[in-house]
C-alpha cells in the first residue's frame, strides 16, 4: 500500500491532500484547502505566494491530522509543478522539496490540468476514458486522451472563463470569486440580452463577451439579465466545444473539472448534451473539482507506480507546463 501526500498551489488555493490506492481506485484520506481572497482587485501572484507560504505548514499538519496518519507513513510527496503563477509554484515546490528531504521520501512534480482529469477517473468508478471540460479561473480547456497523450482539443484563446466572470463581478463590486454570486443573480432572470458567442474551431474566446457585458451594464441593462446572458452564452459555447471534441474523438464520457464546474447551470447543460449523444456525464465532488491537493497526490501516485521518478533537478517548476508535454506511462 502506498500513501501519497500532494501539495497544490498553482493559483489562489493552497491545498494538501493525502490519498492511498485501493485496488487501483483513489481513496481520499484528507483534502484540506485554503483559498486566498484578495480584498480588492484580482489575484496578485506575489501576494498569493505569500499567502501560501504563510499557511502551507498549517494546511499540512491539518491534512495529516484529518487523514489520521503520521508523517512517517507517507510514502511519496507530489506537488503541482505547473501550469500556474510562478511565485505560487515556487513556494509550493520549495515546501514539497523540503518535506521530501526531511521525510526521505521520493518527490514528484505533476501537471495540474492532468490531475483534474485523473481524479475523476480515480474516484468515479464508471469514468474510464472521458473528455474533460476543465473550467477554472485561469484555465479553460477541453482535454482528452488520444494517441498515448493527454491532448488539448480546445481552449480559450484569451482569458479563462473564471477570470472573465470575476472581472465582470468586480465591476458589480461582487466578492471574489464572483462565479457563485453571478449564478445566483442569473437565476432571477429569463431575459436574454444578445452577447458575442465566439468559437474558432474548437477554441473559444471570452474577452469580447466580457467587454459587451460591461457595456450592457453601463447602458443600464438589468444586472440579473446580464448575468443570465453571460452564463447562457459562455456555457453554451463551452458545451458546444466539448461536444465537438467528443464527436471528434468518439468518446462516450464527459467529465467536468475546475471551480466553474460547481455551477449548476453549466452542469445541467453539459449533462443534457451528453444525454442527447448517449454519453455519460460525470462530475467529481466539489472538493475534488476545485484546485486541491488530493488530485495532485493521486496523479503523483499513478506516475510513481508506473515507474516515473524525479530528481530534485527534474522538479523545476514550469509556469507553462502544457498538458500534452506530460509523459503518460500509466495508461
**Closer CB to another protein, 19 or 269, in the complex:** 269
Q: CA 33, CA 59: separation in Å to the nearest integer?
A: 7
The grid cell for 240 is 458546444
Of 12-41, binders to another protein (CB under 8 A) are: none
Task: Give the nearest distance from C-beta 324 to another protein in angstroms.
Answer: 8
**Closer CB to another protein, 7 or 246, in the complex:** 246
Is residue 197 close enough to count as binding another protein by CB under 8 A? Answer: yes
Under DSSP, the state recorded for 116 is H
Under DSSP, the state recorded for 157 is S
What mask of x and - would describe binding to another protein in positions 112 to 141, judged by CB under 8 A? --------------------------x---
Interface with another protein (CB under 8 A), residue from 126, 220, 276, 313: 276
Is residue 292 close enough to count as binding another protein by CB under 8 A? Answer: no
**Closer CB to another protein, 6 or 84, in the complex:** 84
Using CB under 8 A, count the residues that bind another protein: 41
The grid cell for 296 is 495532485
Q: CA 179, CA 185: separation in Å to the nearest integer?
A: 10
Under DSSP, the state recorded for 292 is -
Residue 93's Cβ-count burial label (10 Å; 0-12, 13-18, 19+) is buried
Residue 54's Cβ-count burial label (10 Å; 0-12, 13-18, 19+) is middle
Q: Give just the sign of the alpha carbon dihedral 14, 319, 132, 142.
A: positive
The grid cell for 258 is 475546475
Residue 103's Cβ-count burial label (10 Å; 0-12, 13-18, 19+) is middle
- What are the Cα distances from residue 25, in Å, to 22, 66, 119, 330? 5, 20, 10, 13
Task: Give the nearest distance from C-beta 243 to another protein in angstroms.
Answer: 5
Interface with another protein (CB under 8 A), residue from 32, 99, 132, 152: 152
**Closer CB to another protein, 45 or 106, in the complex:** 45
Q: CA 291, CA 9: separation in Å to the nearest integer?
A: 8
Of 155-184, binders to another protein (CB under 8 A) are: 155-158
Of 212-241, binders to another protein (CB under 8 A) are: 232-233, 236, 239-240
**Closer CB to another protein, 138 or 260, in the complex:** 138
Interface with another protein (CB under 8 A), residue from 97, 167, 170, 248: 248
**177 preceded by cis ω (within 30°)?**
yes
- β-pair partners for 204: 156, 199
Is residue 320 close enough to count as binding another protein by CB under 8 A? Answer: yes
Task: Give the nearest distance from C-beta 67 to another protein in angstroms.
Answer: 32
Interface with another protein (CB under 8 A), residue from 247, 312, 316, 329: 247
Interface with another protein (CB under 8 A), residue from 2, 192, 211, 314: 192
Is residue 196 close enough to count as binding another protein by CB under 8 A? Answer: no
Task: Give the nearest distance from C-beta 110 to another protein in angstroms.
Answer: 18
Of 46-85, binders to another protein (CB under 8 A) are: 83-85
Is residue 278 close enough to count as binding another protein by CB under 8 A? Answer: no
Is residue 291 close enough to count as binding another protein by CB under 8 A? Answer: no
Instruction: Please identify which residue in the block is written with the cell numbers 449533462.
Output: 271
Q: 58 — phi, psi (to 5°)? A: -60, -45
Residue 47's Cβ-count burial label (10 Å; 0-12, 13-18, 19+) is middle
100 CA to centre of own chain:
25
Is residue 86 close enough to count as binding another protein by CB under 8 A? Answer: yes
Report the interface residues with another protein, using CB under 8 A: 83-86, 138, 146-147, 151-153, 155-158, 192, 194, 197, 199-203, 232-233, 236, 239-240, 243-244, 246-248, 268-270, 272-273, 276, 319-320, 322
Amino acid at each position: 500500500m502506498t500513501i501519497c501526500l500532494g501539495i497544490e498551489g498553482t493559483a489562489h488555493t493552497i491545498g494538501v491532500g493525502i490519498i492511498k490506492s485501493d485496488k487501483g481506485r483513489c481513496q481520499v484520506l484528507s483534502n484540506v484547502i485554503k483559498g486566498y481572497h484578495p480584498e480588492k482587485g484580482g489575484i496578485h501572484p506575489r501576494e498569493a505566494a505569500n499567502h501560501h507560504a504563510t499557511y502551507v505548514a498549517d494546511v499540512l499538519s491539518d491534512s495529516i491530522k484529518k487523514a489520521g496518519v503520521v508523517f512517517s507513513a507517507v510514502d511519496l510527496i507530489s506537488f503541482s509543478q505547473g501550469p500556474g503563477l510562478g511565485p505560487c509554484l515556487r513556494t509550493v515546490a520549495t515546501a514539497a522539496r523540503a518535506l521530501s528531504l526531511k521525510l526521505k521520501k521520493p518527490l514528484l512534480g505533476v501537471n495540474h490540468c492532468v490531475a483534474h482529469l485523473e481524479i475523476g477517473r480515480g474516484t468515479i468508478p464508471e469514468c474510464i476514458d472521458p473528455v474533460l471540460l476543465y473550467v477554472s479561473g485561469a484555465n479553460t480547456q477541453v482535454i482528452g486522451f488520444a494517441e498515448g497523450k493527454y491532448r488539448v482539443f480546445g481552449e480559450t484563446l484569451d482569458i479563462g472563463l473564471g477570470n472573465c466572470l470575476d472581472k465582470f463581478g468586480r465591476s458589480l463590486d461582487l466578492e471574489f470569486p464572483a462565479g457563485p454570486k453571478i449564478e445566483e443573480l442569473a437565476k432571477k432572470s429569463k431575459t436574454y440580452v444578445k452577447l458575442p458567442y465566439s468559437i474558432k474551431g474548437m477554441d473559444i474566446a471570452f474577452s469580447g463577451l466580457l467587454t459587451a457585458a460591461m457595456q450592457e451594464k453601463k447602458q443600464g441593462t438589468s444586472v440579473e439579465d446580464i448575468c443570465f446572458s453571460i452564463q447562457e452564452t459562455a456555457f453554451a459555447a463551452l458545451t458546444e466545444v466539448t461536444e465537438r471534441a467528443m464527436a471528434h474523438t468518439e468518446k462516450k464520457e464527459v467529465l467536468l473539472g475546475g471551480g466553474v464546474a460547481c455551477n449548476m447551470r453549466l452542469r445541467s447543460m453539459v449533462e443534457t448534451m451528453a444525454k442527447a449523444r448517449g454519453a455519460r456525464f460525470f462530475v467529481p465532488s466539489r472538493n475534488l473539482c476545485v484546485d486541491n491537493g488530493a488530485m495532485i497526490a493521486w496523479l503523483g501516485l499513478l506516475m510513481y507506480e508506473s515507474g516515473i521518478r524525479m530528481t530534485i533537478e527534474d522538479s523545476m517548476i514550469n509556469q507553462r507546463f502544457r498538458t500534452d508535454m506530460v509523459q503518460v506511462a500509466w495508461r
